[in-house]
Amino acid sequence: MTGLIERFVEFMNATPGVPLSLLLFALTAPPVTLLHECGHALAASYRVGKAEIHLNFAPDPRRPQGLCVYDASRATRFDTVIIALAGPAASALGAFLSWSLLQHAGSDGFWRDVCSILLIANVGAVVLNLLPLRLTESRKEGAAVLWLDGRVALDALRGRA
């Protein structure tokens, strides 16, 4: 366990400083989001038919950065679980690919910084989206509600989808 912690600390110490990290997060967020939504879209198109991806490039914490839209009326509970978990699975694949690239990126430099941020962003996408949360834009009646993938899958398993 100590070796794992030491490797994590070593990795975090090798990441770029805050200004460059913020810039790289801004630049890598769209492709990370696109990969995540492609996971949903691929599963949805296979399970229920046509699916569309909508990306929001304007940084707005009140809106999702990406969204996959499909005909949920055609989805069974099992389809809903598969489609919900396909996004985090795609992000996990992105994290693995980022980690693989990082192994060959050298000990420092811009490419290593990009791979580090891609890895952090993809792992963050997996962890965040698997949380079983429902987010509401505000407390006002009729406010927009966003269900994270973990909540969608859990509700489907419980028969509430």
Report d(CA 17, CA 14) in Å as an integer: 9
Does residue 73 form part of some domain?
yes
Q: Alpha carbon 127 to chain centroid distance?
A: 8
Does residue 59 form part of some domain?
yes
Instruction: Please name the residue ranges forming H helices in 131-158.
Output: 149-157
Does residue 8 form part of some domain?
no
Does residue 85 form part of some domain?
yes
More confident residue, 154 or 26: 154
Does residue 143 form part of some domain?
yes
**59-102 tens-digit pLDDT:** 666 677 889 999 999 999 999 999 999 999 999 999 999 999 99
Domain hosting 119: range is 14-157
The pLDDT value given to residue 142: 65
Find tokens 């366990």 and name the residue. Answer: 1
The mean predicted confidence, pLDDT, of the chain is: 89
Which backbone phi and psi does 19 adopt, to 5 degrees?
Answer: -60, -45
Q: What is the mean pLDDT of residues 148-157?
A: 95
The pLDDT value given to residue 138: 64
Contact 133, 148 (CB under 8 A): yes
Contact 53, 68 (CB under 8 A): yes
Count of domains in the chain?
Answer: 1
**120-140 tens-digit pLDDT:** 999 999 999 999 998 776 667
**17-47 tens-digit pLDDT:** 888 888 998 889 999 999 999 999 999 999 9
Q: What is the pTM of this model?
A: 0.87
